[in-house]
Amino acid sequence: MGPVTPGIRSSEVRVPDDHSREQLVALLELQDADQVVRRARHKLDHLEEQQELDEAQAKVDQVEAEHADSRVEIDLVQPKVKKLEDEISLLEERRAAEAQKLYGGEVTNPRELQGLRAEVESTDRRIRDHEDALLEVMEEAERIQGGLDALAATSAELQRAVAEREAARDRAAQDLLAELAEAEVVRDAVRVRVPDDLLSRYDAETLKQRGLAVGKLDHGMCTGCRMDLPRVEVTELRQGPPLTRCPECGRLLVVLD
């Protein structure tokens, strides 16, 4: 007797069974049908179109986050523009008042005229400084707004790509859902041909083996684990009951040849 999967005693390898050949064939067909169902579900859960959609949506999220950050920047800059514009307006009003005094003829005292001229010049300098600062802030606002416009255009383009990928995902999913539904109908039709006790054993093994519960002895190989069994074990298996366990993987093993 060859090696046995750890945890399976030699005396447990065989599973005495009195089921008919037709029932065991149905069991194998059920395994095949379940595999078709699992493959369809796996494809549905791992749609390439869904991955492409997720990637496109991630790009949209990134652009929208950058757009939100730029909105914060522009919201911080705009009050600076308003403040400088208001200050320039007040300074211009002040300069106009000072110029009126200087050139209106109301003041004739040379010293007072000199003082007024100095105030007008000082106000002019402050206006120029504020205008320079305003120009810098407005250039910054223009730069940020340009970035916002570019991000908005990029977001719109990416949103169109997301919509296209959603449609492609939905079409692919619809096809696979139809394939899955058809596979489940076939699987359910096979299940009713398997006796309840054998079906319970199969379901328990399916959970234990994470999907592949039954193998078939095929030219000395277990189709469950794809292992070639020693010739002496193959001979012994063929001389035993038609339903046993694979000495390598412990799965249910149907021996029909």
Domain shared by 119 and 170, yes or no = yes
Domain shared by 210 and 184, yes or no = no
Q: Which of 190, 225, 241 is the last residue of a domain?
A: 190
**Counted domains in the chain:** 2
Q: Which of 190, 219, 239 is the last residue of a domain?
A: 190
Domain shared by 130 and 162, yes or no = yes
- pLDDT, one tens digit per residue, over 189-237 is 999 999 999 999 999 999 998 889 999 999 999 999 999 999 999 999 9
CB-based burial label for 221 (10 Å; 0-12, 13-18, 19+): middle
**Which stretch of 60-64, 115-119, 176-180 has the lowest confidence by average pLDDT?**
115-119
Residue 26 lies in a domain: no
What is the C-alpha separation between 85 and 129, in angstroms, rounded?
12
Residue partners of 177: CB distance under 8 A and separation at least 6: 44
Domain shared by 199 and 177, yes or no = no
Residue 3 lies in a domain: no
pLDDT confidence tier of residue 110, bands split at 50, 70 and 90? confident
Other CB atoms within 10 A of residue 75 CB? 10
What's the CATH number where 128 sits?
Answer: 1.10.287.1490
Residue 31 lies in a domain: no
What percent of the chain shows pLDDT beyond 70?
A: 93
CB-based burial label for 133 (10 Å; 0-12, 13-18, 19+): middle
Residue 73 lies in a domain: yes
Does 1 have pLDDT greater than 80? no
Tell me the mean pLDDT in the region 239-244: 93
Q: Which of 210, 206, 217 is nearest to 245 (CA)?
A: 217
Domain shared by 170 and 116, yes or no = yes
Domain shared by 238 and 147, yes or no = no
Domain shared by 136 and 205, yes or no = no
Look up the domain containing 130 and give its range. Answer: 48-190
Residue with tokens 């390598």: 248
Does 188 have pLDDT greater than 70? yes
What is the C-alpha separation between 126 and 87, in angstroms, rounded?
10
Residue 60 lies in a domain: yes
Domain shared by 100 and 223, yes or no = no
Residue 40 lies in a domain: no
What is the C-alpha separation between 208 and 189, in angstroms, rounded?
23
Domain shared by 93 and 206, yes or no = no
Domain shared by 224 and 134, yes or no = no
- Predicted TM-score (pTM) of this structure: 0.62
Instruction: Calculate the CA 44 to chain-centre distance.
Output: 14
pLDDT confidence tier of residue 17, bands split at 50, 70 and 90? low
